[in-house]
A = this chain, B = another copy of it.
Amino acid sequence: MKSPDERRRSDRAHAAILEAASQTVQELGYGKTTIEGIAARAGVGKQTIYRWWSSKGAVVIDALLAGQTETDWPDSGDLGTDLRLVLRATTLEFADERTSATLRALMLDMQDDPALSESVMTRMLGPQLEATKRRLRSAQQAGQVDAAVDLDLAVEVIFGPIYHRWILRTHPFDEAYADALTNLAIRALGPAVAGAVGR
């Protein structure tokens, strides 16, 4: 068992590493960030980092998560209002060059690093997708989302267009885009309108 002093030192090192990881990614970008660089900035040895994290990706995810406010959706009672807020915030994040570069590098590394992919999915993206589904489920109960809509697909209809634009870099992100996407998503997911079938 650790003594109180050892635990305090350990907590301090843990926090220093997360802070160093965050600053390093901010300054150098994800690609040029190294475990060595993070260790040097945090004033610890590489082995201290590897005691808690298995890879650069794993530390960076924790650093990103530490800086994040919350994954839960707002719930004003009106899905359209909440969706517009979330999509404005999400597109703002993707429009930010540094955040976008970090996410892009993580997404790339995920494709041939199953452990990192697992880590991103269970710790970062998974909870966001689950939170979205929770909000959609409550909108379904309120009659604002068609009961027959599959919520996994609904999540993709909401965020998929942003991925398409982001990966192919076809067009920039702005608030008008977030709002136009909100409108189309609400039309896609909303309750089937009587008389509209077969039009």
Closest Cβ–Cβ distance, residue A104 to chain B (whole Å): 6
Interface window among A3-11, A48-56, A58-66, A177-185: A177-185
Interface string of A126-156 (1 = CB under 8 A from B): 0001000000000000000000011011111
Q: Using Cβ atoms and an 8 Å threshold, which residues of chain B touch A125?
A: 168
Cβ-closest chain B residue relative to A31: B112
Q: Using Cβ atoms and an 8 Å threshold, which residues of chain B touch A46?
A: none
User: Known: A149-B184, A180-B150, A184-B188. Contact between A161 and B170, CB under 8 A?
Assistant: no
In the complex, A181→B162 CA distance in Å? Answer: 16
Residue contact A159 to B153, C-beta cutoff 8 Å: no
Q: Which chain A residues numbered 33 to 82 have a C-beta less than 8 Å away from chain B?
A: none
Number of copies: 2
Q: Using Cβ atoms and an 8 Å threshold, which residues of chain B touch A181?
A: 153, 157
Query: Could you write out 16 A-B pairs with CB less than 8 Å apart?
Result: A104-B111, A107-B167, A117-B169, A125-B168, A157-B157, A157-B181, A157-B188, A159-B164, A160-B160, A160-B163, A161-B161, A185-B188, A187-B187, A187-B190, A188-B188, A190-B196
Cβ-closest chain B residue relative to A160: B160
3 smallest beta-carbon distances between A and B, as pairs: A160-B160, A156-B161, A188-B188
When the two chains form the complex, which single residue of B121, B161, B170, B196 contacts A168, counting CB atoms closer than 8 Å? B121
